[in-house]
Amino acid sequence: MAVSRFPVCVIREAATQLGAHSLTEAVRELKTGQFTKMLETSSAVSLIEKVTEAYHRHFRDLMNRYQSAKDRDEATQLRDQLVREIFGE
């Protein structure tokens, strides 16, 4: 999944956990476009790991909210959001 497909709240959470200096360094490394070198750098890898962890938490939270929804309209809305998360729009 491309980073641009992650919800903004997930990117925000991961960036907050990473810290300003590491985030700046990670963005600089990602912008260089050198994928092999990027995989060897800790800042870019840390950012990717944090985004992945945050996305998994976001998805689990969404799934739990859907499974525990009592209101039919809310359940439908959450189901539709899950479908978009999984299959795209």
pLDDT, tens digit (0-9, with 9 covering 90-100), for 4-44: 477 777 777 888 887 777 778 777 777 776 556 656 666 77
Query: What is the count of structural domains for the chain?
Result: 1
Stronger pLDDT, 67 or 47, i.e. the higher one: 67
The CA-to-CA distance between both ends of the chain, in Å, stands at: 14
Enclosing domain of residue 83: 3-87
**Which pLDDT belongs to residue 66?**
95
In angstroms, the CA 55 to CA 6 distance is 7
Asked whether 31 and 47 are in contact (CB, 8 A), the reply is no
- Distance, C-alpha 1 to centroid of its chain: 9
Per the rule left: phi > 0, alpha: psi between -120 and 50, beta: everything else, 40 is alpha
**Which pLDDT belongs to residue 2?**
40
- The overall average pLDDT reported for the chain is 80
